[in-house]
Amino acid sequence: MKTRKWLAYPYLVWMVGFIVVPLILIVYYGLTSAGGGITLDNIALISKPINRGALWLSLELSFISTIVCLVLAYPLALILRNLKIKSSSFVVLVFILPMWMNSLLRTLAWQNILENTGILNQILSFFNLPTLSIINTPSAIMIGMVYNFLPFMILPIYNSLVKISDDIVNAAKDLGANNFQTFIRVIWPLSFPGVVSGVIMVFVPSLTTFAISDILGGSKVLLIGNVIEQQFKIVNNWHTGSGLSLVLMVFILISMAILAKYDKNENKAGGQII
Partner 1 sequence: MKNTIKNYLQKFYIALILLFLYAPIAILMVLSFNESKSRSKWGGFTLKWYIELFQNREIMNALYTTLIIAFLSALIATIIGTAASIGINRMKIVPKTTILSITNIPMLNADIVTAISLMLLFVAMRFTLGFRTVLISHITFNIPYVVLSVMPKLKQLNINTYEAALDLGAKPVYAFYKVVFPEIFPGVLSGFLLSFTMSLDDFVITHFTKGISVDTLSTKIYSEVRKGIKPEMYALSTLMFVAVLILLTLVNYSKNKGKK
* Interaction residues for partner 1, span 226-255 (CB under 8 A): 228-229, 232-233, 238, 241-242, 245, 248-249, 252
The Cβ-side half-sphere exposure at 104, using a 13 Å CA radius, reads: 4
Of 200, 202, 221, 222, which lies in the binding site for partner 1, with binding defined by CB under 8 A? 200
115 near partner 1 (CB under 8 A): yes
Of residues 155-174, those binding partner 1 (CB under 8 A)? none
φ, ψ at 32 (rounded to 5°)? -125, 160
When the beta carbons of 214 and 266 are compared against partner 1, the nearer one is 214
Of 40, 79, 184, 235, which lies in the binding site for partner 1, with binding defined by CB under 8 A? 79
Of residues 8-27, those binding partner 1 (CB under 8 A)? 8-12, 14-15, 17-23, 25-26
Q: Which secondary-structure segment (H or E) carries 111?
A: helix 103-114
Beta-carbon contacts of 53 under 8 Å, excluding residues fewer than 6 positions away, are 222
Of residues 87-106, those binding partner 1 (CB under 8 A)? 87, 89-90, 93-95, 97-106
Whole-number Å distance between alpha carbons of 150 and 211:
17
When the beta carbons of 145 and 150 are compared against partner 1, the nearer one is 150
Whole-number Å distance between alpha carbons of 134 and 122:
13
Q: Smallest distance from the beta carbon of 242 to partner 1, in angstroms?
A: 7
φ, ψ at 87 (rounded to 5°)? -100, 110
36 near partner 1 (CB under 8 A): no
Q: Which secondary-structure segment (H or E) carries 127?
A: none
84 near partner 1 (CB under 8 A): no
What is the DSSP secondary structure assignment for residue 187, as one 8-state letter? Answer: I
